[in-house]
Structure 1
Amino acid sequence: MRPQIILFGDSITELSFKYGGWGASLTDTYSRKADILVRGYGGYTTRWALFLLHHIFPLSSTTPPVATTVFFGANDAALPGRTSERQHVPLEEYKENLRKIVRHLKECSPTMLIVLITPPPIDEEGQQQYAISVHGEKAPERTNEVTGNYANGCVEVAKELGVSSVNLWSKMQATQGWQKKYISDGLHLTPDGNNVVYEEVVKAFTGAWLSANEMPADFPHHMEIDPQNPAKAFQERCLISTFTKKDM
């Protein structure tokens, strides 16, 4: 079986398989090397994500994923007293929820590569326009300053627990004009924004031990197959047992 990589998060993960999405790009990079599974849930917070852990990452699994990205925080950082107040998770609870997620993943597989991804920065002007168009109000539901606190908290937890992290909040703001280049509606990502996530995740994977270039393909390359003796290439990969005599 190909190893599995699970992308676990909110809508930014759920949308990652759309055209230009970071999940789709990962699938292309790890083609024939690993299966990329998307487990993204729009609107979810770390509080609600805890209820999914045993379903997505059962401790009884004999084939846990080799790597998991954990990408929450954009909804946790919703402001109290605004339309999205139901999604608000206090910062300290958010950090503790991340700890619980990481501990569960480590219990699921001590060798699993875990990458925490911070929420991206908030384009406050775009958030305000979105709030007006959807809710008829001018108050944005998130601010960049508050979201930055959650991003810092995410990085702190990663360091504390000895796992990798990607600080999108800081990375994206290093580019001039990031608001329109990377953020589409004040919160979600443009294709360029998706590309930043993709590049940073690949960097984290490669910097650990999960380089696509160094992983073996699941079956022989077609140029390795001798048309006069095709079984040889599969025998060398110990795959011949998966074929019947009729198949050969």
Structure 2
Amino acid sequence: MHSALLLGDSLFARFEGMAEPHINVALKNLLPLVQIDNKAVSGDNSFDLLKILQKQTLTPSDWVFVFIGANDLAQHKQVFLGEYWENLKAIVKLLKETYPSQGICLISPPPVDESKQAYRSNYLVAKYTEVLAKVSQDYGTHFISLQDCFQNSGYPLEELTKGILDDGLHFGSLTYKLLAKEMVKVIESEEEKSF
């Protein structure tokens, strides 16, 4: 039995035609007994998530997955890289008051289809991912690079970024399955250590 707390923006919150957030469905397909508390809020950036964590008492969970950054790097409402870095450090410090480092996983913003995305570029995705990877390394948390995940998937970017909105950012079933697999790999890697 596992429990997972999901924090982030619309990429965790979107239903994409399902009866609950699509990531919940994809995770339950791989871990049928998982208990999921999905607190993601569409449109949130790292400032918003930090405010939530400062106000709320979080539920006990085996795992916390943090998927924030797609709105931080959007050029029409950009959170500058240095601010994003400071926010992430504060977020992880707050989480570590309740959860062990090995139970926390940061997920990078996904690559985008620039032909459909006016406000996001893969150059910025790479820059914000570097910051996320550095914070993860400094604080001893797990890290999932969606850049690596997309590159190793064997699928073209156009297919990986296609969802109901078809805006080059909000993805659909294919990518939720890939993301859930990466999340389960992280969970299983910790379980193997404890045997």
Q: Same fold (TM over 0.5)?
A: yes
5+ residue gaps, structure 1: 128-139, 215-248
Is the Cα contact below 8 Å between 1:6 and 1:39 reproduced in 2? yes
TM-score by length of 1: 0.69
| One-letter amino acid matched to 1:72 | I
Per-residue deviation, residues 124-149 of structure 1 (Å, max 9, x unmatched)? 0121xxxxxxxxxxxx1111111111
Partner residue, 1:232: none
Alignment partner for residue 131 of structure 2, among 148, 153, 157? 153
- Work out whether 1:209 is the aligned partner of 2:172: no
- Work out whether 1:77 is the aligned partner of 2:59: no
Partner residue, 1:182: 160
Is the Cα contact below 8 Å between 1:69 and 1:117 reproduced in 2? yes
| One-letter amino acid matched to 2:49 | A
TM-score by length of 2: 0.86
Partner residue, 1:120: 110
Higher RCO, Cα 8 Å, sep 6+:
2
Partner residue, 1:25: 26
Q: 1:210 to 1:126 in 2, by over 3 A?
A: farther
Residue correspondences, number:
188
SS in 2 for 1:141: coil
Partner residue, 1:103: 93
1:15 deviation in Å?
1.2
Partner residue, 2:44: 44
Is the Cα contact below 8 Å between 1:17 and 1:23 reproduced in 2? no
SS in 2 for 1:171: helix
TM-align CA RMSD? 2.4
Per-residue deviation, residues 89-117 of structure 1 (Å, max 9, x unmatched)? 11121122111111111102337600000
| One-letter amino acid matched to 2:11 | I
Partners of 1:43 and 1:99 in 2: CA distance: 20
1:122 deviation in Å?
1.2
**Which structure's CA Rg is the greater one?**
1
